[in-house]
Amino acid sequence: MRVYLDNAATTPLDKEVFEVMAPFMLEHYGNPSSIHAHGRQVRAAIEGARKTVAGLINASPSEVFFTSGGTEADNLAIICSVRSLGIKHAVSSPLEHHAVLHSLEVLEKNGEVELTMLRVDANGVLDLEHLEITLASQPRTFVSIMHANNELGNLNNIQAIADICKKYDAVFHSDTVQTIGHYRHDVQALGLNFLVGSAHKFHGPKGVGFIYVDSSIKIHPLIQGGSQERNMRGGTENVYGIIGLAKAMEIAFRDMDEHRQHIQSLKDRMIAQLREQIEDVQFNGLSAEADKSLYTVLNVSLPVSEMNEMLLFNLDINKISASGGSACTSGVDLGSHVLRAIGSDMERGNVRFSFSKYNTIEEIDYAVATLAKLYQKETV
């Protein structure tokens, strides 16, 4: 048995999704920009997918654009907002995904924006008072804050952030890659300007995502070269990826309550068993608090041990796939910028377990038993 507990990195493709994608790989191969019958058939399928995605987030189809994934969507929102809207100041947090942080850092290095990083506490909670004070002094700022942290699982109150941004006429972008398909998002109720998703995080195909762009925002494209996506993104569309994304999202919303209950029960079981079987086990951020963290993610902090340098390797040897922050892989230190930002003890063993609808109780029990066995031998 090999146990896959790295679903925050990517999820297995749902068979229902593959079934709707397959005809567009083999039979419906027309270029959607062509005006003949083959092209028109594919164009209709893309627009049907766009309508599905838009309906699920309560947007207009004209506000949904397909991309190569969450990274491109984040880059589009950030870079194009700054350059198209004349924005000179941006606010984010040190806990954001590198798709956001690196984009903002490049703009800052180029002298295009002044960048302010929000304060965060030892649990990874953002200081929203700092946000309000900052926006009050510098209105018409670009704000980029994720809904849920991909490492800690911390949930941010994006409704409260959106309200603050609206108060000071700030442009608000939220990286919702970890929560699309796991939580319901109503873009009209939220009142944000940009929201992004990536299909492979909710059992869709890799290499395709989407961005919601509020109709009041007028930006220029990031990728030039064609009139596709209503002049927002040049390049022939990833047709079967788009079809798969829409189907995966449809399934995720259809079965969300059932899957959430199942996955939360697995996470709760792992927390309880880890506390029972491993002395001094801790949890980074708000990861162990059900009402404050993403139910698919658990970030575990294990005792100081010689085991920690090879923790992920040892899990892999024991047929458990997970990811970590401070563990060494192939002799290269992959220290987590998120854990460092909240002041976590990097001498401890930090590992992220992330769950999906396909995980089982037996897999959780095996993973905990394996960890307990490793630390009973090596804890110092």
Q: Per residue in 235-279, pLDDT tens? A: 999 999 999 999 999 999 999 999 999 999 999 999 999 999 999
Q: Quote the domain boundaries for residue 270.
A: 255-378
- Verify that 238 and 268 share a domain, yes or no: no
pTM for the full predicted model: 0.94
DSSP class of residue 205 equals -
Query: Is residue 83 in a domain?
Result: yes
Distances (CA, A) of 308 to 64, 285, 312, 313, 374: 44, 19, 8, 10, 10
- Verify that 133 and 187 share a domain, yes or no: yes
Helix (H, G, I), strand (E, B) or coil at 120: strand
- Verify that 68 and 131 share a domain, yes or no: yes
Residue in 215, 143, 212, 214 with CA at minimum distance from that of residue 177: 212
Count of domains observed in the chain: 2
- Provide the CATH number for the domain around residue 158: 3.40.640.10
* Local confidence band at 380 (pLDDT 50, 70, 90 cut-offs): very low
Query: Is residue 5 in a domain?
Result: no
What whole-number distance in Å separates Cα of residue 287 and Cα of residue 308? 20
Final residue of a structural domain among 234, 254, 274: 254
Do 158 and 145 meet the contact criterion of CB atoms below 8 Å apart? yes
Question: Does position 190 have pLDDT exceeding 60, yes or no?
Answer: yes
Do 323 and 80 meet the contact criterion of CB atoms below 8 Å apart? no
Final residue of a structural domain among 216, 232, 254: 254
Query: Is residue 1 in a domain?
Result: no
Query: Is residue 106 in a domain?
Result: yes
Who wins on pLDDT, 308 or 195?
195
What whole-number distance in Å separates Cα of residue 170 and Cα of residue 143? 7
* Local confidence band at 324 (pLDDT 50, 70, 90 cut-offs): confident
pLDDT for 305: 84
Token match 């905990």: residue?
A: 368
- Verify that 151 and 63 share a domain, yes or no: yes
Do 18 and 200 meet the contact criterion of CB atoms below 8 Å apart? no
Beta bridge partners of 351: 300, 324
Token code pair at residue 299: 């970030």
Using one digit for the tens of pLDDT, what is the confidence trace for 48-75? 999 999 999 999 999 999 999 999 999 9
Q: Active site residue: 328, 341, 346, 372, which one?
A: 328
Token code pair at residue 235: 């390049």
Do 81 and 171 meet the contact criterion of CB atoms below 8 Å apart? yes
Question: What is the percentage of the chain residues whose pLDDT exceeds 90?
Answer: 88
Rg from Cα positions in the chain:
21
* Local confidence band at 219 (pLDDT 50, 70, 90 cut-offs): very high
Q: Cα–chain-centroid distance for residue 364? A: 23
Final residue of a structural domain among 230, 254, 278: 254
Question: Does position 379 have pLDDT exceeding 60, yes or no?
Answer: no
Query: Is residue 160 in a domain?
Result: yes
Question: Mean pLDDT for the chain?
Answer: 94
pLDDT for 334: 53
- Verify that 47 and 151 share a domain, yes or no: yes
328 is catalytic: yes
